[in-house]
């Protein structure tokens, strides 16, 4: 019979090894650019050319100087070749802002014999790797409710430090993302096991997406949680609450459990999709790169579709 | 119990087995502890209705395991005994255990002792006191003690290498029977009649009646008796009592190495012989015969000098007959005796042949046709015979014509000629040997004829002294015992002139018989021989015990009870004189457990009214402890299984098992202290202490090791040291400018104090006024040169040196190098590689230019080889001696100007000095590389082909 245990999730958040894993993971993929079709009209500098003049670095067009403009905008070299005065315009380049949230609740510390690593390790690796990918692509990434969005090159370390500080605080870590209303066209990346009441999840999502943010959701699951491979006399202990359940013959519970799990997931997914959040299920017995590739594809194509990786 | 040799001390405890079904029911309904697992999605199913809450049952194998534990514990409490002793019945009266502890009991001693111990144990369980009497202890008072003491006594008992004297023990047993009420006796008989076993048994039966138990075993002893070193081999009698199997007799030397083995087969009889066929030389080495696989003193026969080959001296009255050996009187005697004896002859022309041979320590002296007139030789011979020597004489014309009392019989003056021209009789034949004659049994060939002989004077007792006679009863061989020795006379010559006996097959047999008769006590050292010859009587010696046999037939140191034997000790071994070797190691006397004529007989116990027991190898085993151990082990298994079932095992194993393994790894060496690996570890730990030289390196050494640098020896003369330093600094700069080598700052070293191994070259300016360095410094210099370093000694005396005279510096250097292994030196040849390593130079100049440079001599140039541009040895010369004050020549100021005026002078000389220095250093660093370089063109050419 399989064995399983719980580890302390804050240990993982502290561990620099986790950041290294994330970096290794991220550096295997090219930089990710969030799909530009619904770019936020923000003043933030970014790399998404907006096909119109604006703040940016790339040459866009020369236009005639209109009086009243500041004289320093005149491109004298171009103007010297003709009679009129010209102004050099650059293409407007803007950046996306993405907000990461990784579930650090005790249930994420679960790891079974069948899994490669605890769920929390996988979540941290995925989240930080995604951050690295995005920042390399020119986007700005922040931790939802914990930090502001940054485009620093050492984003993994910066976010990792924030996470470590957060993990060292002795508070009960919620299973839900913080109730922060994101700005319009911001995106959230939510990584966790989402073993929560769909109703609570819906409330929290509506708060987050209240101003028009969308996002992506990666549901991390241990293989044991999906297959329920127990047999015989087993006592199951909840990770977040003191609840226990003693099963005389665990094998007879499997079908029921699978059915209930499927229903729970359908509920959660429905809630997510309703708030414009794409859904991805990832099992910890699969390689992390699989999930990262799928997440990257979601980020680049946009849209809220369901899937499994 | 049901045919099994199993008994229970407390059979009632077996009723506990009835509780097994109850235990079974209890265990069956008690489920194993559930496995506790964290499960985050628990909330999902928390609210589902409880379905089947009947927990899983205890697995059947765990059930079986626990029932087995319960059953084993029940059995263990019942006190099971495997092979319960047969003699465990009886009352509370004292038990006397009589042990036959002769050699016959030794082969099965372990089972006998075990049987006796189990009998004592069972008596102890009954509470009866136990007394132990080994038969060899004889008449000692027997006191019953508790069984534990008796068992200790029994454990300490060992078999004795003798036949047990039972008569003495009987007295003690009678006293015991009289003193104690309701006594019981257990006699462990060895199965031999020897020592009056039947009478002993009858007496015991009379004393104790039905409370007598006699235990015997199936082993039938075998013994070796009467070894004889005969012509055809070493022969030993093998005797047995009862139906003992055939076997193999081994012959061993004194060191215990097996020399030969010979099988023996009894057939129907109880006696047989084993013949060990060995070359005589090896046969003499045999010191011990034993029966393979029979561990008893009776199955060992020890051999001493009496069984050895004899030394025989041969003397002839005839002279200078070496040219015709077939006619020499000694020829046939020598040929006949050579296979059996160690022959000694005198040199031709020896002044006193008999005296010389006697001094040589012969056992038997063969004197052919020689008259021995009264005188010194006569007295010596007389003494020799008295002391046990054998004198064998052959008649002849000289003997026949002389008066001589060294004959066993008086001789008639004239010889008798048979079948000659003046005789009417034909040559006589030999009569059959008399039974009393030692020659009895020898086959007489038909063609042996005697044609002439000396006649014995008819006198009383002649017949008794006659060992061989002619068909007409004329004595042919007469003998007489004188003192310890023997005097034998052949009435014929030793050659074929008087008879053809010497060329018959009978002759060697007769001589061999005589050889075996010759005593060994004549082997006296020459000094003693002189003492003996001077007429002083020899004392009767006693021989101290040297190596004794124990009951098992192994050699031991003499026990305290062993006493010395007299030199002529005969008879069986006893407790006072146990079998073994007595006397000095080189001429020890052997005493054997069995007499030469001994026979063995099995004791006949028919008609003795006693309970008969059989000693078998199986001894009672108390099964309580093994059963308890098994139950405990099963409990451990059960605990592990329970742990595993409840899921605790993997975690327990992961954490605790590693700790346990670590603990075992730490403790294992301590548990097996003799393990070689541990010894190695210990040595490895001790080694650092054994080597005090592993001190941490100093900063100076570190610097020296990290960059190549030049070194000079600090002489103590400040001016010279400064010159050396300045010179080496200049040379270092030059090297850095012109070559690929960039040495570090030069250093001054003290050979006594500093480690020299880091420097490729040490410059040593010789200052005659300074004291010689210490011996330690000299050793270090020698070691440095051996390790491949080069020392450049600069005597700086080129200006003062005169041909034929030694300068003080030269003297100082010579003194220094006295303790150092300096190779052969020569003035640097023009083609030496040192002149070509970087620059092409002629010689080494310094402040002066006329000094000679000495360097290790090169191997001579091959004569036929073409002249080479450069030669070199296999290694760098460890020593270079210059006299041109190189350092002063090199030394320059900051602007490159020479510090010292040069002789004869000029910029060119300084340049040449520096070039010489560069070459010198390149030589020490690259060795013979340049010498090989000159062949590069040839090598390339060859490669091109």
Residue A189: inside a domain, yes or no? yes
Give the domain extent around A54.
48-94
Burial readout A129-145 (b: 16 or more C-beta within 10 A, e: otherwise): bbbbbbbbbbbbbbbbe
Q: Give the pLDDT score at B595.
A: 80
Residue of B31, B35, B46 with shortest CB distance to A245: B46
B699-933 CATH: 3.40.50.12140
Over residues B125-133, mean pLDDT: 81
Chain A contact for B34 (CB, 8 A cutoff):
yes
A82 shares its domain with A199: no
Distance from CA of A195 to the nearest CA of B (A): 6
**Short-list B532, B566, B562, B491, CA closest to B387:** B532
Report the chain A residue with the minimal C-alpha distance to residue B41: A195
Q: Give the pLDDT score at B225.
A: 85
Q: Give the pLDDT score at B662.
A: 55
Quick check: B39 and A243 CB within 8 A? no
Residue of B32, B40, B55 with shortest CB distance to A110: B40
Give the pLDDT band (50/70/90) at residue B756: confident
Q: Give the pLDDT score at A44.
A: 45
Give A249's contacts in chain B (Cβ within 8 Å): 52, 54-56
* Residue pLDDT, tens place only, B539-572: 456 788 888 888 888 888 888 888 888 766 777 7
Distance from CA of A148 to the nearest CA of B (A): 31
Over residues B291-296, mean pLDDT: 86
* Cβ contacts of B602 within 8 Å, gap of 6 or more: B191, B192, B193, B220, B241, B242
Q: Give the pLDDT score at B914.
A: 92
Per-residue pLDDT for B460 more than 50? yes
A76 shares its domain with A165: no
Quick check: A248 and B647 CB within 8 A? no
CA angle B403, B407, B413 (to 5 degrees): 40
Per-residue pLDDT for B193 more than 90? no
Residue of B34, B37, B40 with shortest CB distance to A107: B40
**ipTM associated with this complex:** 0.76
Residue of A4, A233, A264 with shortest CB distance to B44: A264
* Residue pLDDT, tens place only, B22-61: 888 887 767 667 778 888 888 888 777 665 555 666 778 8
Give B40's contacts in chain A (Cβ within 8 Å): 107, 110, 193, 195, 222, 225, 238-240
Residue A264: inside a domain, yes or no? yes
Residue of B41, B52, B650 with shortest CB distance to A225: B41
**Whether domain B312-519 has CATH 1.10.10.2520:** no
A190 shares its domain with A71: no
Per-residue pLDDT for B682 more than 60? no
Chain B contact for A195 (CB, 8 A cutoff):
yes
Of B720 and B323, which is predicted with more confidence?
B720
Report the chain B residue with the minimal C-alpha distance to residue A265: B44
A131 shares its domain with A279: yes
Give A222's contacts in chain B (Cβ within 8 Å): 40
CATH of the domain at A281: 3.40.50
Tokens representing B376?
A: 């010194």
Chain A contact for B654 (CB, 8 A cutoff):
no
A157 shares its domain with A106: yes
Chain A contact for B43 (CB, 8 A cutoff):
yes
Over residues B589-600, mean pLDDT: 81
Over residues B792-816, mean pLDDT: 85
Of A63 and A21, which is predicted with more confidence?
A63
Per-residue pLDDT for B409 more than 80? yes
* Residue pLDDT, tens place only, A149-200: 888 888 888 888 888 888 887 777 778 888 888 888 788 999 999 988 899 9
pTM exceeding the 0.80 threshold for the entire prediction: no
A82 shares its domain with A132: no
Per-residue pLDDT for B619 more than 70? no
CB pairs under 8 A between A and B: 101
A146 shares its domain with A53: no
> What does the alpha-carbon distance between residue B243 and residue B266 come to, in Å, rounded to a whole number?
9
The percent of residues above 90 in pLDDT, for chain A, comes to: 17
Per-residue pLDDT for B665 more than 60? no
> What does the alpha-carbon distance between residue B257 and residue B697 come to, in Å, rounded to a whole number?
58
Cβ contact B157:B550 at 8 Å: no
Alpha helices in chain A (DSSP H): 9-14, 16-26, 76-81, 119-136, 155-168, 198-208, 223-227, 254-274, 288-301
Quick check: B43 and A238 CB within 8 A? yes
Give B650's contacts in chain A (Cβ within 8 Å): 3
Give the pLDDT band (50/70/90) at residue B683: very low
Give A247's contacts in chain B (Cβ within 8 Å): 34
The percent of residues above 70 in pLDDT, for chain B, comes to: 83
Residue A279: inside a domain, yes or no? yes
A111 shares its domain with A150: yes
Mutate to test the interface with B, among A6, A221, A236 (most CBs of B within 10 A): A236
A88 shares its domain with A223: no
Alpha helices in B653-797 (DSSP H): 658-671, 676-690, 699-706, 718-738, 775-786
Give B41's contacts in chain A (Cβ within 8 Å): 195, 225, 257, 261, 264
Quick check: B52 and A252 CB within 8 A? yes
Give the pLDDT band (50/70/90) at residue A309: low
Distance from CA of B70 to the nearest CA of A (A): 26
Report the chain B residue with the minimal C-alpha distance to residue A108: B40
- The tally of domains found in chain A comes to 2
Cβ–Cβ contacts within 10 Å for residue B621, how many? 16
Per-residue pLDDT for B537 more than 50? no
Mutate to test the interface with B, among A104, A173, A232, A249 (most CBs of B within 10 A): A232
Give the pLDDT band (50/70/90) at residue B350: low
A141 shares its domain with A241: yes
Quick check: A264 and B54 CB within 8 A? no
> What does the alpha-carbon distance between residue A215 and residue A276 come to, in Å, rounded to a whole number?
7
Quick check: B34 and A245 CB within 8 A? no
Give the pLDDT band (50/70/90) at residue B526: very low
Cβ–Cβ contacts within 10 Å for residue A289, how many? 17
Quick check: B41 and A256 CB within 8 A? no
Q: Give the pLDDT score at B147.
A: 81
Residue of A3, A233, A260 with shortest CB distance to B650: A3
Cβ contact A4:A16 at 8 Å: no
> What does the alpha-carbon distance between residue A44 and residue A140 come to, in Å, rounded to a whole number?
9
Chain A contact for B47 (CB, 8 A cutoff):
no
Count, residues in chain A: 309
Over residues B396-402, mean pLDDT: 71
Residue of A5, A234, A261 with shortest CB distance to B34: A234
* Residue pLDDT, tens place only, B918-939: 999 998 888 877 777 777 888 8
Give A233's contacts in chain B (Cβ within 8 Å): 31-35, 55-56
Give the pLDDT band (50/70/90) at residue B396: confident
Over residues B234-243, mean pLDDT: 84
A79 shares its domain with A108: no
Over residues B327-348, mean pLDDT: 77
Give B43's contacts in chain A (Cβ within 8 Å): 195, 238, 241, 243
Q: Give the pLDDT score at B529.
A: 38
What DSSP character marks residue A253? Answer: G
Quick check: A260 and B45 CB within 8 A? yes
> What does the alpha-carbon distance between residue B879 and residue B793 come to, in Å, rounded to a whole number?
7
Quick check: A236 and B39 CB within 8 A? yes
Distance from CA of B648 to the nearest CA of A (A): 10
> Could you say which residues from 228 to 257 on chain A have a Cβ atom under 8 Å away from some Cβ of chain B?
230, 232-241, 243, 245-249, 252-253, 256-257
- CATH homologous superfamily of domain B86-218+602-615? von Willebrand factor, type A domain (3.40.50.410)
> What does the alpha-carbon distance between residue B701 and residue A220 come to, in Å, rounded to a whole number?
62
Q: Give the pLDDT score at B520.
A: 45
Q: Give the pLDDT score at B346.
A: 72
Q: Give the pLDDT score at B547.
A: 85
Chain A contact for B49 (CB, 8 A cutoff):
no
Give B35's contacts in chain A (Cβ within 8 Å): 1, 232-235
Quick check: A264 and B34 CB within 8 A? no
Q: Give the pLDDT score at A46.
A: 52
Give B29's contacts in chain A (Cβ within 8 Å): none
* Residue pLDDT, tens place only, A187-243: 899 999 998 889 999 999 999 988 888 889 999 999 988 888 888 778 888 887 788
* Residue pLDDT, tens place only, A245-266: 888 778 888 888 899 999 999 9
B111-125, B338-352, B471-485, range with the lowest pLDDT: B338-352
Residue A307: inside a domain, yes or no? no
Quick check: A256 and B37 CB within 8 A? no
Q: If 0-12 CB within 10 Å is exposed, 13-18 middle and 19+ buried, where does residue B692 land?
A: exposed
Per-residue pLDDT for B210 more than 70? yes
Over residues B794-802, mean pLDDT: 84
Give chain B's mean pLDDT.
Answer: 78
């Amino acid at each position: 019979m399989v064995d399983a245990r719980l580890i302390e999730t804050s240990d993982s958040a502290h561990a620099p090894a986790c950041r290294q894993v994330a970096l290794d993971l991220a550096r295997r993929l090219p930089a990710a650019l969030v799909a530009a079709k619904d770019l936020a009209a923000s003043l933030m500098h970014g790399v998404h050319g907006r096909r119109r003049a604006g703040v940016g670095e790339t040459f866009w067009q020369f236009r005639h100087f209109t009086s009243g403009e500041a004289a320093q905008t005149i491109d004298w070299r171009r103007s010297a070749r003709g009679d009129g005065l010209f102004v050099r315009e650059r293409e407007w380049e803007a950046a996306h802002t993405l907000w990461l949230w990784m579930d650090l609740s005790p249930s994420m510390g679960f790891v079974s014999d069948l899994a490669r690593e605890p769920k929390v390790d996988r979540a941290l690796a995925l989240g930080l790797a995604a951050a690295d990918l995005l920042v390399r692509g020119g986007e700005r990434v922040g931790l939802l409710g914990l930090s502001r969005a940054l485009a620093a090159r050492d984003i993994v370390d910066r976010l990792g430090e924030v996470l470590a500080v957060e993990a060292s605080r002795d508070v009960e870590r919620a299973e839900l993302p913080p109730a922060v209303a994101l700005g319009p066209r911001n995106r959230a990346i939510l990584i966790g096991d989402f073993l929560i009441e769909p109703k609570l999840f819906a409330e929290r999502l509506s708060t987050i997406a209240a101003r028009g943010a969308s996002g992506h959701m990666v549901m991390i699951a241990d293989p044991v949680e999906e297959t329920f491979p127990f047999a015989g006399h087993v006592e199951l202990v909840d990770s977040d609450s003191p609840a226990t359940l003693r099963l005389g013959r665990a094998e007879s519970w499997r079908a029921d459990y699978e059915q209930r799990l499927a229903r729970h997931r359908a509920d959660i997914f429905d809630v997510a999709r309703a708030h414009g959040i794409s859904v991805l299920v990832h099992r910890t017995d699969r390689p992390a790169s699989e999930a990262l590739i799928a997440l990257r594809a979601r980020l680049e194509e946009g849209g809220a579709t369901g899937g499994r990786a | 119990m049901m045919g099994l040799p199993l008994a229970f001390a407390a059979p009632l405890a077996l009723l506990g087995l009835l509780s097994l079904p109850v235990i079974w029911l209890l265990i069956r309904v008690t489920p194993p502890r559930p496995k506790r697992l964290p499960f985050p999605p628990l909330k999902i199913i928390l609210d589902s209705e409880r379905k089947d809450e009947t927990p899983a049952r205890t697995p059947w194998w765990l059930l079986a395991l626990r029932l087995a534990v319960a059953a084993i514990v029940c059995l263990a409490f019942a006190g099971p005994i495997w092979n319960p002793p047969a003699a465990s019945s009886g009352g509370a009266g004292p038990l006397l255990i009589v042990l036959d502890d002769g050699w016959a009991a030794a082969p099965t001693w372990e089972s006998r002792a075990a049987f006796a111990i189990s009998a004592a144990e069972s008596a102890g369980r009954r509470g009866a006191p136990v007394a132990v009497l080994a038969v060899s202890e004889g008449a000692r008072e027997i006191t019953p003690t508790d069984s534990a003491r008796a068992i200790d006594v029994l454990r300490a008992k060992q078999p004795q290498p003798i036949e047990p004297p039972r008569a003495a023990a009987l007295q003690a047993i009678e006293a015991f029977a009289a003193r104690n009420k309701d006594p019981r006796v257990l006699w462990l008989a060895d199965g031999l009649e020897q020592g009056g076993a039947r009478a002993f048994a009858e007496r015991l039966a009379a004393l104790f009646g039905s409370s007598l138990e006699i235990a015997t075993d199936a082993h039938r002893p075998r013994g070796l008796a009467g070894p004889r070193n005969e012509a055809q081999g070493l022969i030993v009698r093998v005797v047995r009592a009862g139906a003992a199997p055939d076997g193999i007799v081994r012959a061993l030397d004194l060191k215990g190495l097996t020399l030969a083995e010979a099988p023996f087969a009894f057939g129907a009889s109880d006696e047989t012989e084993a013949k060990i066929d060995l070359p005589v030389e090896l046969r003499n080495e045999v010191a011990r015969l034993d029966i393979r696989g029979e561990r008893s003193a009776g199955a060992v026969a020890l051999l001493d000098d009496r069984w050895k080959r004899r030394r025989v001296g041969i003397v002839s009255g005839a002279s200078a007959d070496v040219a015709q050996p077939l006619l020499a009187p000694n020829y046939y005697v020598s040929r006949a005796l050579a296979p059996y004896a160690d022959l000694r002859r005198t040199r031709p022309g020896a002044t006193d042949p008999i005296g010389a041979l006697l001094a040589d320590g012969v056992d038997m002296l063969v004197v052919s046709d020689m008259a021995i007139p009264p005188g010194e030789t006569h007295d010596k011979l007389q003494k020799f015979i008295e002391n046990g020597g054998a004198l064998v004489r052959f008649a002849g014309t000289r003997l026949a014509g002389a008066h001589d009392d060294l004959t066993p019989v008086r001789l008639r003056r004239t010889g008798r000629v048979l079948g000659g021209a003046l005789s009417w009789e034909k040559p006589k034949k030999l009569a059959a040997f008399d039974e009393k004659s030692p020659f009895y049994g020898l086959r007489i060939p038909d063609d042996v004829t005697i044609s002439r002989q000396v006649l014995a004077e008819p006198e009383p007792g002649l017949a008794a002294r006659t060992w061989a006679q002619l068909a007409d009863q004329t004595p042919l061989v007469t003998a007489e015992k004188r003192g310890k020795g023997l005097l034998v006379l052949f009435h014929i010559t030793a050659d074929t002139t008087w008879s053809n006996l010497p060329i018959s097959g009978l002759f060697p047999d007769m001589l061999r018989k005589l050889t075996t008769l010759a005593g060994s006590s004549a082997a006296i050292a020459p000094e003693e021989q002189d003492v003996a010859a001077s007429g002083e009587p020899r004392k009767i010696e006693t021989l101290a015990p040297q190596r004794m046999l124990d009951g098992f037939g192994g050699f031991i140191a003499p026990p305290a009870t062993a006493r010395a034997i007299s030199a002529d000790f005969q008879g069986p071994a006893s407790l006072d004189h146990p079998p073994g070797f007595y006397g000095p190691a080189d001429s020890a006397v052997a005493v054997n457990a069995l007499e030469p004529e001994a026979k063995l007989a099995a004791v006949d116990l028919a008609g003795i009214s006693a309970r008969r027991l059989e000693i078998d190898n199986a001894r009672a085993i108390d099964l309580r402890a093994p059963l308890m151990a098994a139950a405990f082990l099963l409990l451990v298994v059960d605990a592990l299984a329970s742990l595993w079932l409840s899921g605790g095992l993997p975690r327990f194993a992961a954490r605790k098992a590693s700790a346990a393994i670590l603990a075992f790894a730490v403790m294992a060496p301590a548990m097996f202290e003799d393990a070689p690996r541990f010894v190695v570890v210990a040595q490895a730990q001790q080694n650092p202490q054994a080597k005090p030289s592993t001190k941490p390196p100093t900063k100076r050494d570190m610097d020296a090791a990290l960059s190549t640098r030049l070194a000079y020896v600090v002489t103590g003369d400040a001016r010279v040291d400064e010159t050396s330093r300045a010179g080496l600094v200049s040379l270092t700069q030059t090297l850095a400018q012109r070559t690929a080598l960039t040495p570090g700052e030069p250093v001054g070293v003290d050979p006594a104090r500093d480690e020299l191994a880091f420097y490729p070259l040490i410059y040593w300016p010789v200052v005659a006024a300074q004291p010689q360095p210490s011996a330690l410094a000299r050793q270090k210099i020698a070691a440095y040169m051996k390790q491949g370093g080069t020392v450049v000694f600069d005597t700086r005396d080129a200006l003062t040196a005169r041909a034929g005279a030694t300068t003080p510096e030269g003297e100082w250097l010579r003194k220094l190098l006295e303790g150092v292994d300096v190779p052969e030196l020569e003035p640097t040849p023009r083609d030496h590689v040192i002149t070509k390593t970087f620059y092409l130079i002629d010689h080494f100049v310094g402040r002066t230019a006329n000094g000679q440079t000495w360097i290790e001599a090169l191997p001579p140039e091959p004569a036929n080889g073409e002249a080479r541009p450069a030669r070199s040895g296999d290694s760098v010369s460890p020593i270079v001696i210059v006299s041109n004050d190189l350092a002063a020549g090199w030394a320059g100021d900051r602007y490159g100007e020479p510090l010292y005026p040069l002789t004869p002078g000029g910029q060119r000389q300084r340049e040449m000095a520096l070039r010489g220095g560069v070459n010198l250093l390149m030589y020490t660093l690259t060795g013979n590389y340049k010498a090989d370089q000159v062949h590069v063109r040839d090598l390339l050419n060859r490669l091109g082909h």
